């Protein structure tokens, strides 16, 4: 049976090894929220600024999830998506603590967690998510998104790569 000192030192080293990943998540949250503050102070809702032939900055609000899923559901979805994100963050913290030495896996988790928290902050403060990156081509437009969404997508991509590498090793 482990002594009190062993339990404490194990917990302390596990927390210390989580710090880089919490730092990555914090940077994602910081960049996401700063970019949204700039957009909110610069643009009116639906105002668009042409940047390139395929990219605009535009202020839109998304009360739903990805691609405005449940965007017109009447408001209850705000609490559902916030609860899902909080649950995901708690699970990610558990996984980071258990696997803090697996670099690619933890990069993926930290990016996903930072993005999820960035969008939760929007849901709490604005009641909906602030989106502003708009890509378009040949008359078609991809739904607007933000840096938090980008971090989540990058994290999912890294997670898939990590899993494919793990399967290939076996």
Q: How confident is the model at residue 15 (pLDDT cuts 50, 70, 90)?
A: low
The pLDDT, as a whole number, for residue 14 is: 57
The pLDDT, as a whole number, for residue 61 is: 94
Residue in 32, 72, 122, 149 annotated catalytic: 149
CA distances from 86 to 30, 98, 116, 167 (A): 18, 19, 8, 29
- For the cut 80, the answer to whether the pLDDT of residue 69 exceeds it is no
The pLDDT, as a whole number, for residue 13 is: 52
| Residue closest to 66 by CA, chosen among 115, 110, 26 | 115
CA distances from 61 to 11, 40, 53, 144 (A): 41, 11, 23, 9
Q: How far is CA 112 from the centre of its chain?
A: 4
Give the mean model confidence (pLDDT) for residues 108-131: 96
The pLDDT, as a whole number, for residue 100 is: 87
How far, in Å, CA of 71 to CA of 115, rounded?
19
Per the annotation, the verdict on 32 as an active-site residue is no
Task: Give per-residue pLDDT as tens, 19-60.
Answer: 999 999 999 999 999 999 999 999 999 999 999 999 999 999
Q: How confident is the model at residue 162 (pLDDT cuts 50, 70, 90)?
A: very high
Give the mean model confidence (pLDDT) for residues 104-108: 97
What is the share, in percent, of the chain residues with pLDDT greater than 70? 84
Per the annotation, the verdict on 122 as an active-site residue is no
The pLDDT, as a whole number, for residue 141 is: 87
Give the mean model confidence (pLDDT) for residues 96-123: 96
Give the mean model confidence (pLDDT) for residues 82-110: 95
What is the rounded average pLDDT for all residues in the chain?
A: 88
| Residue closest to 66 by CA, chosen among 161, 140, 160, 152 | 152
Residue 57: CB atoms within 10 A of its CB come to 18
- For the cut 70, the answer to whether the pLDDT of residue 7 exceeds it is no
- pTM for the predicted model, two decimal places: 0.85
3 against 145, higher pLDDT: 145
For residue 170, what is the DSSP state? Answer: -
């Amino acid at each position: 049976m482990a002594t009190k000192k062993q339990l404490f030192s194990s917990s302390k080293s596990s927390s210390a090894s989580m710090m880089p990943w919490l730092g990555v998540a914090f940077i994602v949250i910081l960049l996401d929220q700063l970019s949204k503050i700039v957009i909110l102070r610069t643009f009116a809702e639906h105002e668009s600024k042409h940047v390139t032939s395929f990219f605009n900055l535009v202020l839109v609000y998304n009360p739903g999830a990805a691609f405005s899923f449940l965007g017109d559901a009447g408001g209850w979805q705000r609490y559902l998506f916030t609860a899902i994100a909080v649950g995901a963050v708690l699970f990610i913290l558990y996984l980071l603590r258990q696997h803090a030495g697996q670099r690619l896996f933890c990069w993926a988790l930290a990016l996903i967690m930072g993005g999820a928290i960035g969008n939760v902050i929007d849901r709490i403060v604005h009641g909906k998510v602030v989106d502003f990156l708009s890509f378009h081509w040949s008359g078609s437009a991809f739904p607007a998104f933000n840096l938090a969404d980008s971090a989540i997508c990058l994290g999912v991509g890294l997670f898939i790569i990590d899993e494919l590498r793990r399967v290939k090793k076996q």
